[in-house]
Amino acid sequence: MKRYIQKILLVTSLITVGIRYPAKVISQPLSKPKINEVNLYSNRSFITKAVERTGSAVVTIDTQRYVKKRKFPRNSPLFIDPYFERFFGLDLPNDNRPRIEQSQGSGFIFADGLIMTNAHVVNRSDKVIVGLTNGKKFEAKLIGQDFFTDLAVLKIEGKGPWPKAKLGNSAKIKVGDWAIAVGNPFGLENTVTLGIISNLNRNVNQLGIYDKKLELIQTDAAINPGNSGGPLLNSEGEVIGINTLIRSGPGAGLSFAIPINKAKEIAYQLIKNGKVIHPMIGISLIEEKNSERKNNSVKVGYVVPNSPAEKSGIMIEDTIVKVGNKNIETASDVIDQISKNGINKQVNILLKRRNKFIELKVIPTDITNLEKN
């Protein structure tokens, strides 16, 4: 009986194995499996995919500037005092000869033959050469540049078709998102660095830059010399910013990019008009945080003499409560509302001065008019 029970258990086990492992699977001959190309692609990093989507649209920008002979008098002490030359490490007689200065930066093609880059990359250039990733080089002409946002647009002088970068939406990015910086530092094509978005809407005044009108994306993706003007990509390979500057010295390792939404706005104005209008009223702004009330206030830090702000009665230490119909919480709110209002058109500004509310009417002007005052 015992032996009979063992036979039954053995047969049952075999039946179970037959159910779990069908004969056609067990008996299938061993063979070399086919390479699944889709799986191979899916195993590649998102960085590789992102760069492949946009990398061909990234260009090297070589600039040349003709520097004329410096006008030093022949009896200048700069030439007859060897200690001056030795102390400053200068070679003044050679410096005094006409020469060609060369520099390099990056950019990317965003439309048919049109390139976005930084204004400082092409500033005062007499000749611009654009290098593509396929090794071809073309001359390019400057369509327009805007120093207040550090943006420039170039046009390639040649026949396409041209690779184009896909532009993303910088309004959708968040702190912690991936950031991929692409550029050609030192002429090394398609150099890629990876980081995250560290901060949004970083005011350049916080960086000690007062001659620009920029709110930047902050990232820890390394931006090296020569990367200026190259694209900052998201994980999908879309351009979300233009690499523009790095911080050196204390706090080094921070990089900054111009949001692509702002860059597009400026680029299309340059293409259409050759210049950009920047509505201003002539004030600097200071943000103050109130930890008790958990809100911010925006105060006037400086008023430009003879500016629309001064003429309307705005004073230092005034708190800006409202511009137009917008309640003000940040300095960016003020800048946005003034920009949207435009020039030569009245805007209402509500201020608070020594616990008293004052409403003033101000007519913004272009920033170039403020410089003439």
* 278: nearest Cα among 146, 126, 181: 146
Q: Which residue has the tokens 């009108």?
A: 213
* 349: nearest Cα among 373, 318, 371, 370: 318
Q: How many helices (H) and strands (E) does the chain have?
A: 12, 20
Pull the structure tokens for residue 369.
Answer: 């008019």
> Exposed, middle or buried: residue 185 (CB in 10 Å: 0-12, 13-18, 19+)?
buried
Are 121 and 258 a contacting pair, CB within 8 Å? no
Q: What DSSP character marks residue 167?
A: B
Pull the structure tokens for residue 92.
Answer: 């003044």
Are 234 and 50 a contacting pair, CB within 8 Å? yes
Task: Give the CA count within 13 Å in the CB-facing half-sphere of 183.
Answer: 32
The Cα–Cα gap between 366 and 336 comes to: 14
> Exposed, middle or buried: residue 153 (CB in 10 Å: 0-12, 13-18, 19+)?
buried
Report the sign of the C-alpha dihedral through residues 69, 75, 80, 81, in that order: negative
The Cα–Cα gap between 270 and 49 comes to: 32
Residues with a catalytic annotation lie at 120, 150, 228
List the beta bridge partners of residue 152.
Answer: 117, 145
Give the CA dihedral 333, 339, 341, 342, nearest 10 degrees: 170
